[in-house]
Each structure stands twice: as C-alpha cells, then as structure tokens.
Structure 1
Amino acid sequence: MIRLLWNTAGFAALALAGLGVILPLLPTTPLVLLAAFAFGRGSTQFRDRIVAHRVFGPPLRDWKARGAISRRAKVAACSVMALTFIASVVLGVKPVVLVVQALCLGGAAGFILTRSS
C-alpha cells in the first residue's frame, strides 16, 4: 500500500512536470526530482525509466552528478514564486502570512539560485 502511495505521488509530480515542459510557469526540474524521489521509494523500474527518459532524464542526471539545476528551471521556479507572492499581496493576504510566505519562498529561491547551472 505504501509503494502504491509513493508511485501515485511520483505520477502526480511527473504529470505536473510534463505540463511544465509546455507551460513556462511550472518548474519542471523540481517536479521531476520529486517524481524520481517518489519512484525511488515506490518502484525502481519507474525510477529507471524516468532517469532514461529523453526529456526528464537530463535534469535528473545533472542533479545527481553535480547538484545542478538548469538556468531555465531556475528562472521558471523563481518566477512562479514571485508571481505567487505578488498574487498574495494583490489578494490582500494578512501581513503575517505574507511574512511567512516571503521567508519560505525566499529560502527556496535562495537554495535554487545557489545551485550550479
């Protein structure tokens, strides 16, 4: 049952990553990394297939070899984070929530931007 949950999480992350290939606002690389992690827990066969995939494989191999995230993925991830924060401000989210959101998104962006390309 646990393996099924991991595989479901992997396929969900992979589906979102697939949309990220088409839509520039979805951060493909982090979602592919999440899918590979989930598949690693649920099915080594699925994980091996995603690592060998022509689109999703290169970011995984770059991450495993050098901890690298492509420039395009960095721009997409940081853009989505910025747009999310801006939308929260425009929607009038409480200041306390904005502070927490800014800290979390800033930390995530800092991590992403400090990885090699």
Structure 2
Amino acid sequence: MLRILLVFSGMVSVILGVLGIFLPLLPTTPFLLLASACFVKSSPRFNHWLITHKKFGPVIQNWQTNRAVSSTVRRRGAAAIVVSFCWSIWIVPLVWLKIILFLGLMLALTFFLRLPVNDLVD
C-alpha cells in the first residue's frame, strides 16, 4: 500500500513539476526532487527514468550529489517565491495576515538564497 502511495505521489509531483515549466508561479525543482525521493523508495525504474531524463536529470543529480542548485534555478526560484508571496500579500484583506505572509516571504527567501550554487551541471 505504501509503495502504491509513493508511486502515485511521485507521478503527481512529476506532473506538477512539468506544469511548473510553463506556469511561472509553480516551482519545478521542488516537485522533481519530491518525485525522485518518492521513486527512490518505491520504484527504481521510475527513479532511473527521472534521473536520466535529458531535462530533469541534471537538476536532480546536482542536488543529490552536491546539495546545490544552479544559478538559473536559484534566480527562477527566487523570482517565483517573491511573485507568489507578493500576490498573496496583495489579495489578503487582513493586515495581521499580510504581516505573517511578509515574514514568511523573508524566511523562505533567506533559506532559498542560502542554498549553495553549483553551475557545473545545469
């Protein structure tokens, strides 16, 4: 049962990651990393397909081997974080919620921008 749940979660994560290529507010890399983590524990075949994929593989391998992202991933990710949080802050009517969202933006951006960069793999 757990294996089926992990394969399903991995597939959904891959789909969301692919959508993130085309939708600017949906991050691609975290979903692909989540898919890889699910596939490692549930399906070696799907995991092999994902890490050897021409587009997705280098990002995942860079994270798995170096615990780093490329500067392109870092730039796009930071932009997505800022845009999505600013949109949320703008549409929320309550001031206290705007403050919490702003603090969340600062925390998320600080964490994300502190990730190591490795441009050897892109």
TM-score range, shorter chain: 0.7 to 0.9
Whether the aligned pair in 2 keeps the contact of 1:25 and 1:77 (CA below 8 Å) is no
Percent of matched pairs sharing the same residue = 30
TM-score, normalised on structure 2?
0.81
Aligned to 1:112: 112
Whether the aligned pair in 1 keeps the contact of 2:68 and 2:116 (CA below 8 Å) is yes
Can you list the C-alpha shifts for 1:47-93, whole angstroms capped at 9, x where unaligned?
A: 12111111110011111111111222222222222122222222134
Whether the aligned pair in 2 keeps the contact of 1:27 and 1:73 (CA below 8 Å) is no
RMSD: 1.9
The amino acid that maps onto 1:55 is K
Equivalent pairs, count: 117
Unpaired stretches in structure 1, ≥5 consecutive residues: none
Do residues 22 (structure 1) and 22 (structure 2) align? yes
Do residues 91 (structure 1) and 74 (structure 2) align? no
Compared CA separation, residues 24 and 84, structure 1 to 2 (3 A): closer
- Please report how far the alpha carbon of residue 94 of structure 1 lies from its aligned counterpart in structure 2 after TM superposition: 2.3
**Partner SS, residue 84 of structure 1:** helix
TM-score, normalised on structure 1?
0.84
